[in-house]
Chain A
Amino acid sequence: MQWEIVVGLEVHAQLSTRSKIFSGASTAFGLAPNAEACAVDLALPGVLPVLNRGAVEGAIKLGLAVGAKINSPSIFARKNYFYPDLPKGYQISQYELPVVEGGNVKIKVGEIEKTIRLVRAHLEEDAGKSLHEDFHGMTGIDLNRAGTPLLEIVSEPDMRSSAEAVVYAKTLHTLVRWIGICDGNMQEGSFRCDANVSVRPKGSDKLGTRCEIKNLNSFRFLEKAIDYEARRQIELIKDGGIIQQQTRLYDPEKDETRAMRSKEDAQDYRYFPDPDLLPLEIPQSWVEEVRGGLPELPQQMRTRLERDYGLSPYDAAAMTVDREIAEYFNAVAGKLPAEAKLCANWIMGEISSYLNNEGRWFDDCPLLPGQLARLLTRIRDGTISGKIAKEVFRQMWVKVSAAGEKALSWKSGDRPFDENLVDQIIDSQGLKQISDSGELEKLVGEVIAANGKSVEEFRAGKEKAFNSLVGQVMKAAKGKADPAQVNMILKKKLADGSVIQE
């Protein structure tokens, strides 16, 4: 029998607010334990929650980006359970009427496009952290993370393989960073997934019993956990077993999932509307204001790059991997719309590799988009060759970087150099191509005269010898000749033989 895997994901995206969702404590990562747990986060007797506007705005942005409905009013509810990292004994979450309802995300797996429908996205607070290292056989509780705003994005069970689940998660990961609501840092837990996995015979339209795998904090683990879990369920069914709905954890070391110690009452969360929080009204004017501030979304931008610039789907995807590269590309290509493909090549090539070497990314690229555009213009107008351009690029990078602090990001205001730096470097070092054909013909003549052996070999039919001659001319021109022009002159001179001295 053929089996089909059915996957739905619950993604917890930590919203990049400065303060927590219901308190004024900082959300900064990595401070001393409990240093960022204020009275509200600690659930001292008598404290009360007040909702952070920034968190709501993050939810609205996501909702608009996935074409969902923004509910108004939206209601906060208490999810009651006891756990030492949950100070109030309940988590403030949303049950009925989440902020975001519906919507969808388009993914592309290989060449196939697919739409993953969303059920909802709701705001909630994160719990603290339990540290199980040995404290005399006890567990240590750090509540710095307690109260950090989370947006839980719940998909329909629309994915049919671990690969689709990974593409969906990556697409969502790009999107939340793109619209600036989440830093996407998976190591720090800013973006984590729970996968609901079930299996069914292919062709069946009935969903199997699902198991939920909690807290997958890398795409690789997501893929492996789903694959393992699906295999486990199929084996179990084949052996005549029955899948029990349960919560499981993935163990990356053993590459397997195992059932969490089941709490007998885990499912009875006793949800009810939080009486400390009033219904959240989101006026349409606010929604429109947020919509107006949203950037062009990755999907829209890819389409535009293919349509307006004629970029290949591959290049368009590369230029929309994230917001930083996209912004940089937009800035360069905006100045050089006819040469968008060349811009993309240089962004993927030289700039990426220089940035990589320095452990930086496009948001703090030292080169101005105008500088790159000028450099590419100089290639196209024949002032310099592509090869010389790389040298100019190197020198420009060094020079700009040496300017220190000011060079940190192309976005910072006060720039030490403008795009004229390109021409200054070319001029001051005489890197301009030899455009005077008389001068070039003289050089070619000299090379032919000095390389009799190569000339004979060429005439004997060895094509390689021609290349060697071109190389010699370029060397004599210190790289400043246009190779195409050299080719042409050389061919002409070898053909008429006029300058060969017997």
Chain B
Amino acid sequence: MSLSLDDVKRVANLARIEIGEDEARAALTQLSGIFSLIEQMQAVDTSALKPMSHSQDVTQRLRPDAVTETDQRELFQSIAPQVEGGLYLVPKVIE
């Protein structure tokens, strides 16, 4: 399959990355090269294989339901771009 300029723009938008027309064109060229590499995967019949998402055959460990954290708001918010009254501020959200 081949990637289109619209694909690049759609994906950049999904990923919330601003991309100019020139950048999008350059990205298209590079991504097309990478995808031609990736396409090699399609030649293999994998119908009998189970997907592998973890290298060890282990299961989820569970945490006891206990409160272990304390209030560190001051420390955490000391590195925030913009806070007021304990809240993180962002440009107005319109629903």
Contacts and interface: CB of A to CB of B under 8 A. Distances in A.
Main SS at interface, chain B: loop
Nearest to B90: A84
Contact of B68 (A19, A51, A56, A142): A19
Interface in A265-291: 265, 268, 270, 273, 275, 277-281
A260 B16 CA distance: 20
A53 B61 CA distance: 9
Contacts of A32: 73, 86
A37 B90 CA distance: 17
A138 B81 CA distance: 13
B62 interface: yes
Contacts of A34: 73, 76-77, 86-88
Contact of A33 (B13, B59, B87, B94): B87
B92 to A, nearest CB: 5
B89 A141 contact: yes
A25 B68 CA distance: 6
Interface string A24-66: 1110000011111111001010000011111110000000000
Contacts of B41: none
A140 B88 contact: yes
B45 to A, nearest CB: 23
Nearest to A35: B71
A204 B59 CA distance: 46
A37 B91 contact: no
Contacts of A430: none
A135 interface: yes
Contacts of A83: 93
Main SS at interface, chain A: loop
Nearest to A149: B65
A23 interface: yes
A141 B87 contact: yes
B95 interface: yes
B92 A132 contact: yes
A327 to B, nearest CB: 23
A249 B88 CA distance: 25
A37 B10 CA distance: 33
Contact of A278 (B58, B63, B65): B58
A26 B16 CA distance: 32
Contacts of B82: 138
Contacts of A42: 76
B22 to A, nearest CB: 23
Given A139-B93, A140-B87, A141-B90, A277 B73 contact: no
A18 interface: yes
Contacts of A265: 10, 13-14
B59 A54 contact: no
Interface string A83-115: 110000000000000000000000000000000
B85 A140 contact: yes
Nearest to A16: B65
Given A38-B69, A278-B60, 6 more contacts: A19-B63, A19-B66, A25-B69, A52-B62, A140-B85, A261-B94
Instruction: Give me the 7 closest cross-chain CB pairs, A-B, nearest first.
Output: A54-B65, A24-B68, A140-B87, A38-B69, A53-B62, A33-B86, A141-B88
15 contacts: A19-B63, A24-B63, A26-B67, A33-B85, A33-B86, A36-B69, A38-B69, A51-B62, A54-B65, A141-B87, A277-B60, A278-B54, A278-B60, A281-B59, A281-B60
